Chains A and B, each alone.
Chain A
Amino acid sequence: MNYLTIAIVSSALLCSTSGVALAQNQSFVFGQETESEGFSFGSSEIDTMDVGEQDAQSPKHWKFNTEVDFGAGYLPYEEANVDVSTHARITPELTWRGDNRFSAKFSGEIAHFSELGSRDSNDVQVLYQDNYVRYTDDNLKLTAGPQKIIWGSTDEIKPTDRIGAQNFSQGIIRDYADRQLAVPAVRGEYVKDGFKFDGVGVFKHRNAELAEEDSMWSFINRNNGRVLGVPNTPEFASIVQQATIDEESYGFGGGGARISKKTSLMDGAVTLQRVRQTTPFYDINPQISAAVEAGSFTPTTLSSLSGATATIINPWTWVMGGDVSIPIGASIFRGEVAWLSDVPVHSQSFRRRDANNIQAVAGVEFYPGDTDFRVIVQSVANVLYGVDNMLEQDEQYSLNGSFENPFLHGDLVASLDYGLGINEHDVYINPKLSYRGIDNHDLYVEGHFFDGSDVTVGGFYEDNSQVRVGWSYEFGKSFDLPKMPVKQAYTPKRKYTPKGKYVDTYVPVPER
């Protein structure tokens, strides 16, 4: 582009992008709405670039999107009883946008998980996701039907996000957003004077989606008799290993409200919720507790029980909390805190007790050296109180966050997610290298490393450390349905014959 080519329509000295150099004293006409008026410098290159076919996203009424995701992991530890785990997942999604204020979305998730080794496991899941109808006007949005709802501002651990449910089919190795499940609900969002009022009613409670009991990601491990979050004791282990487990199902799931305000200085929100907890609690049969308290518990106690050994329950809880996001320079500080009532814990005799719970997260997101290297560091506090001598860990303090750095203009992305216990040995590290050199494709290799004491997540899953490779691809297509042919309207016209008979003929009504 060594020539400044100047298109000057008004003077008829038109030079297109052919590279003709004009003298500097060319005259120009400004302000005329002549399409070809303008200046070209060298020739356009963008037209010659083959970027493949992309849906230009003209505003059509329908859009079909699908993401496919395949992955396989190798587990080096023999104690896992699994050598290889695989997953295949497809998430189709159909959205409709009407000409008026209505829209709709229909989506689901179909997944297959397999674990191969000395203990095999296979599971197929068909899950509903967003399936709603939505009305939107300038300040109001009403949504009815199953929908994902995520509240809060911090990453990966969101103390105030209690309305939605999560999918733990692969433990916690999927990202927070990917783990979200839609809940059947009615939601209204109203914006006024910079405030947003958000109200949700869950008309059918949805439990968290759990891995099959024989999966390495199950919250309960019958091999060693452990349950996630509960310390390993011989008595408890013997119960778990032989346990029969029921699961409660529920109707109305409660609801909540959130009021938020975004200002130049900070964003803030407060929330009040009355919901069923979506993560499972294993409520041990009271007959077992009575036997333990009487000192008469033996493994044979389990065979004489009436009812299941344990029941998965999701009790009601009150949630009060709030979150803030405060930008300072090129960093942003986020904080979120919630108080929860009636959080079930186990007594030393395995009876259910209801504790109070405070969860708080404070962190910062910044870019060292003002580059693309992103760092998120969060401190987390999780305190249970109101119950003495509970089995569960009553105080947990930890750090979590991520490091992420793109290379080769984003074609390669290296990242590291982490969670580290402070007052208890608990480690989760997830290094990942992704190749994203082709749009919509993500080819990755990653590791998930767990370690920790009995009562921690890292300790519970420490045999599940693994290296995974995977590929995901997302595609979409916009379209309009073919217009239905307009039914031709006819006007009957009756013609009588001289003999009193008649013939009906039909004359097309002219189009208006």
Chain B
Amino acid sequence: MIYRVFIQSKLFLSERSSMQLHKNILVIGSVIALGLTSFSALSWADEKGRALAQAVYDRPDGDDNVTQFKMVLVREGSQPKERIFYTYAKEFPNNVVKSLVRFTVPVVVENTGMLTVSQSDGTNDQWLYLPAFQSIRRIAGERKGGRFVSSDVYFEDLQDRKVNQDTHTYLGKEKYDGVLCDKLESIPTDPSNSSYTKKITWVHPETLIPVRVDFYRGKDTPMKRQIVKRIDNVQGFWTVMETKIEDLETGHETHLRAEKVKYDVGVPDSLFSQNVLQTPSKEIPYRP
């Protein structure tokens, strides 16, 4: 079972039981997982909230997962920029999750790859394959505030936040886009472990997927908002297929869509190795 994917530099999960791993999100790899990811770690202030969070967390998502993502970056006055990449994710024994991201578009980043090993203690080990060097480079796995491929997704958004890393307050029910959702406020217990000062999340009660997340950074108004645009049932797994993240201060938008999703592909363990990281052709047979 897999759980989430991450993207460029992080995937995460950790420190959870298999049951917990089931929890959210199937899609690893991307921002799509983002919302889910950020939500998965919510620590509910009350039992009702905790139960709901647990239910979200326990949602099954297959033994492995391969997804092709299309990301479009939109900045006013500039031509939209497109990135296409594949994510592969698989859970290993001892709550270790490994994932591989491979960019195919645009040409300047073609074949750039990132291998992430999310350890059970919540730390991430990451290696980057740069085609220009034809070699693998170890990179820091614990960044939080940097932007993933110049998008509105921060590395923290792609990481697994533990339940006790935030203080959560259940704010009651509130309609979002016509649907009554559960609303939560999450504030980091240690301000230094997050690039945000607060998050407010609207949880879709039927699918237990956060359909909107507002991110705060010091001010009373959110600086960033993530909304889910589409959720599909793929092979029996609820999957966030399209999401949008908007920088509310600059107007920059990041649109992310899962173009192709496949669960239980049977990817071999060896796919998550340095040998494959620097040999892109070896993963092609497993693409959806």
* Residues of A participating in the B interface, judged by any CB pair closer than 8 Å: 1-4, 6, 17, 21-22, 24, 28, 30-34, 37-46, 49-52, 54-57, 59, 65, 97, 103, 136, 138-139, 141, 147-151, 153, 177-178, 189, 191, 196, 262, 264, 267, 325, 327-332, 334, 365-367, 369-372, 406, 408-411, 437-440, 442, 474-476
Q: Which of A46, A196, A372, A410 has the most CB of B within 10 A?
A: A46
Quote the shortest CB–CB distance from B270 to chain A (angstroms): 5
Cα separation A264 to B180 with both chains bound (whole Å): 44
In the bound assembly, the distance between CA atoms of A4 and B179 in angstroms comes to 6
A478 to chain B, nearest CB (A): 9
Whether the Cβ atoms of A410 and B150 lie closer than 8 Å is yes
**B165 at interface by CB-CB < 8 Å:** no
- B279 engages A141 (CB within 8 Å): yes
- Chain A, interface SS category: loop
- In the complex, chain B residues 188-243 whose Cβ is within 8 Å of any chain A Cβ: 195, 204, 206-207, 211, 227-236, 238, 241-242
How many residues of chain B get a CB closer than 8 Å to chain A's CBs? Answer: 82
Q: Please, could you name 9 A-B residue pairs with CB atoms under 8 Å apart, sorted by A? A: A6-B179, A41-B227, A46-B255, A54-B106, A56-B105, A103-B281, A178-B132, A264-B123, A365-B139
Query: Nearest chain-B residue to A478 (Cβ)?
Result: B104
A31/B236 in contact, CB under 8 A: yes
| Chain A residue contacts of B257, Cβ below 8 A | 44, 46
> In B73-122, which residues have CB < 8 Å from any A CB?
73-75, 78-82, 84, 104-108, 110, 117, 119
The closest CB in chain A to the CB of B115 belongs to A262
Chain A CB within 8 A of B262 CB: no
| B235 contacts A49, C-beta separation under 8 Å | no
Nearest-neighbour CB distance to chain B for A429, whole angstroms, equals 23
Is B273 on the interface with A (CB-CB < 8 A)? yes
For residues 134 through 154 of chain B, which have their beta carbon under 8 Å from a beta carbon of chain A?
134-147, 149-152
CB atoms of B73 and A409 under 8 A apart: yes
Quote the shortest CB–CB distance from B175 to chain A (angstroms). 8
Residues in chain B within 8 A of chain A (CB atoms): 70, 72-75, 78-82, 84, 104-108, 110, 117, 119, 123, 125, 127, 130, 132-147, 149-152, 175-180, 195, 204, 206-207, 211, 227-236, 238, 241-242, 244, 250, 252, 255, 257, 268, 270, 273-275, 279, 281-282, 284, 287
B260 to chain A minimum Cβ distance, whole angstroms, is 11
Known contacts being A37-B233, A54-B82, is A367 close to B133, with CB within 8 Å? no
CB within 8 A of A31: which of B105, B108, B233, B274?
A: B233
Contact, CB under 8 Å: A51 / B80? yes
Given contacts A55-B107, A191-B274, A370-B146, contact A39 B279 (CB under 8 A): no
CA of A294 to CA of B76 in the docked complex: distance in angstroms?
76
Cross-interface CB contact of A370 among B80, B139, B143, B273, cutoff 8 Å: B143
A264 to B98, CA, bound (A): 13
